[in-house]
A and B are shown apart, each in its own frame.
Chain A
Amino acid sequence: DSGVTQTPKHLITATGQRVTLRCSPRSGDLSVYWYQQSLDQGLQFLIQYYNGEERAKGNILERFSAQQFPDLHSELNLSSLELGDSALYFCASSPRTSGSQETQYFGPGTRLLVL
């Protein structure tokens, strides 16, 4: 158990819909990272938050957004869903942010299926 929790574990929805994925980082960790694992793209970085502020963006679509709340949990919002958004979405956390070599610990993931 990494200490990172994600809900829900599974999500089935239809095209055009909007969903919210939730992540609680390890106790004391200020950085939260979101990654997507799809069959054709592998594990890819989406976005990073540190202590409530966006710090870095990766290959994140404009239809996707995220935020980190004062209690440090984070939510990833996916809207206007398409079939190709079906994937595993992982959250990871680490104590700090850029400038330090830290290990990221991953949650169990949310499996999203868009029908």
Chain B
Amino acid sequence: DQQVKQNSPSLSVQEGRISILNCDYTNSMFDYFLWYKKYPAEGPTFLISISSIKDKNEDGRFTVFLNKSAKHLSLHIVPSQPGDSAVYFCAATGSARQLTFGSGTQLTVLP
């Protein structure tokens, strides 16, 4: 039973364009959502987060949108850069605070 789903295993985007990564969740008790970026054989690196009381959070080129009614969040990267190529994980947490991860999306930014 996957509580956090990333349905796109991979995404390719041209440099300078927008990358949109999507994530769906099923557990309505989740109240904090995070995006991590991961390179092979390295630990996940925190990118951006959003509380369930907000619908948008922005940090530089990264923006996360949360649609609670649809139980959907997305990460927008504008403009995309070749260095953004990595696996992106969506994660969610409730009161217990352990992270539940999606399966990840491999983003490739083409020069």
**Which residues of A approach B to under 8 Å, CB–CB?**
2, 4, 6, 31, 33, 35, 42-45, 48, 56, 58, 88, 90, 92, 94, 97-109, 111
Contacts and interface: CB of A to CB of B under 8 A. Distances in A.
A33 B98 CA distance: 7
Given A101-B31, A101-B51, A90 B96 contact: no
Contact of B99 (A35, A88, A108, A111): A35
A102 B99 CA distance: 11
A69 to B, nearest CB: 21
Given A43-B89, A101-B31, A103-B34, A48 B97 contact: yes
Interface stretch (B15-23, B39-47, B59-67, B72-80): B39-47
Contacts of A31: 97
Contacts of B101: 42-44
For chain B, the bracket of interface size reads 20 to 34
B69 interface: no
Contacts of B93: 101
Given A42-B103, A58-B98, A2 B43 contact: yes
Given A43-B44, A56-B96, A109-B42, 4 more contacts: A42-B104, A45-B99, A88-B41, A104-B34
B49 interface: yes
A92 to B, nearest CB: 8
Interface centre among A35, A101, A103 (most CB of B within 10 A): A101
B104 A104 contact: no
Given A42-B104, A101-B31, A103-B49, A33 B43 contact: no
Interface centre among B46, B96, B98, B99 (most CB of A within 10 A): B98
Contacts of B98: 33, 45, 48, 56, 58
